[in-house]
Amino acid sequence: MRDETKSKFRESLRGPLIERGHPDYNEARKLYNGMIDKHPLMIARCVDVADVRAAVNFGRDNGLLIAIRGGGHSGPGLGSCDDGLVVDLSLMKGVRVDPKKRRVRVSPGCTQGDVDHAAHAFGLAVPAGIVSTTGIGGLTLGGGTGYLTRKYGLTIDNLIEADVVLADGSFVTASKTENPDLFWALRGGGGNFGVVTSFLFQAHPVHTVYAGPIFWDQKHARLIMQRYRDFLPGAPEDLGMFLGLKTVPSTDPFPRGEWGKRVCVLISCYNGTAEHGELAMRPILKELPPPLFNWMGMMPFPALQAMFDPLIPKGFQWYWKGSFVTALPDQAIEAHLESAAKTPTELSLMHLYPIDGAVHRVAKDETAWNARDAMWSMVIAGIDPSPQQANAVTRWSKAYWDAVHPHSSGGGYVNFMMGDEGEGRLNATYGDNYARLTAMKKKYDPANLFRVNQNVRPAG
For 305, the enclosing helix (H) or strand (E) is helix 301-305
100 SS3 class: coil
Is residue 190 involved in binding ligand FAD (CB under 6 A)? Answer: yes
CA gap 176, 227 in Å, rounded: 40
The one-letter amino acid at 308:
F
Residue of 28, 43, 55, 78 interacting with ligand FAD (CB under 6 A): 78
Q: Is 447 exposed, middle or buried (0-12, 13-18, 19+ CB in 10 A)?
A: exposed
Residue of 15, 113, 142, 244 interacting with ligand FAD (CB under 6 A): 142
Quick one: DSSP state of residue 135?
A: B
Is residue 59 involved in binding ligand FAD (CB under 6 A)? Answer: no
Is residue 68 involved in binding ligand FAD (CB under 6 A)? Answer: yes
Nearest to 150 by CA among 284, 240, 230, 75: 240
Mask of contacts with ligand FAD, 97-136, x by CB under 6 A?
-----------x--------------------xxx--xx-
Is residue 196 involved in binding ligand FAD (CB under 6 A)? Answer: yes
Smallest gap from residue 10 Cβ to ligand FAD (A): 22
**Interface residues for ligand FAD in 262-321 (CB under 6 A)?**
312
Q: Which stretch binds ligand FAD (CB under 6 A): 74-82, 251-259, 297-305, 361-369?
A: 74-82
| 92 in Cβ contact with 105 (< 8 Å) | no
Q: How many residues does the chain have?
A: 460
Is residue 189 involved in binding ligand FAD (CB under 6 A)? Answer: no
Smallest gap from residue 417 Cβ to ligand FAD (A): 10
The one-letter amino acid at 160:
I
CA gap 302, 105 in Å, rounded: 18
Question: Between residues 190 and 411, which has the closer beta carbon with respect to ligand FAD?
Answer: 190
Phi-psi domain of 118 (left: phi exceeds 0; alpha: psi -120 through 50; beta: other): alpha
Is residue 32 involved in binding ligand FAD (CB under 6 A)? Answer: yes
| 421 in Cβ contact with 159 (< 8 Å) | no
Task: Enumerate residues 6+ apart whose C-beta is below 8 A from 415.
Answer: 74, 75, 138, 139, 142, 143, 322
Smallest gap from residue 128 Cβ to ligand FAD (A): 7
Smallest gap from residue 214 Cβ to ligand FAD (A): 19
Q: Is 313 exposed, middle or buried (0-12, 13-18, 19+ CB in 10 A)?
A: exposed
Is residue 70 involved in binding ligand FAD (CB under 6 A)? Answer: yes
Is residue 412 involved in binding ligand FAD (CB under 6 A)? Answer: no
Residue of 79, 84, 113, 458 interacting with ligand FAD (CB under 6 A): 79
Smallest gap from residue 27 Cβ to ligand FAD (A): 16
Contact positions vs ligand FAD (CB under 6 A): 32, 68-75, 78-79, 89, 108, 129-131, 134-135, 137-139, 141-146, 190-191, 195-196, 312, 415, 452-453
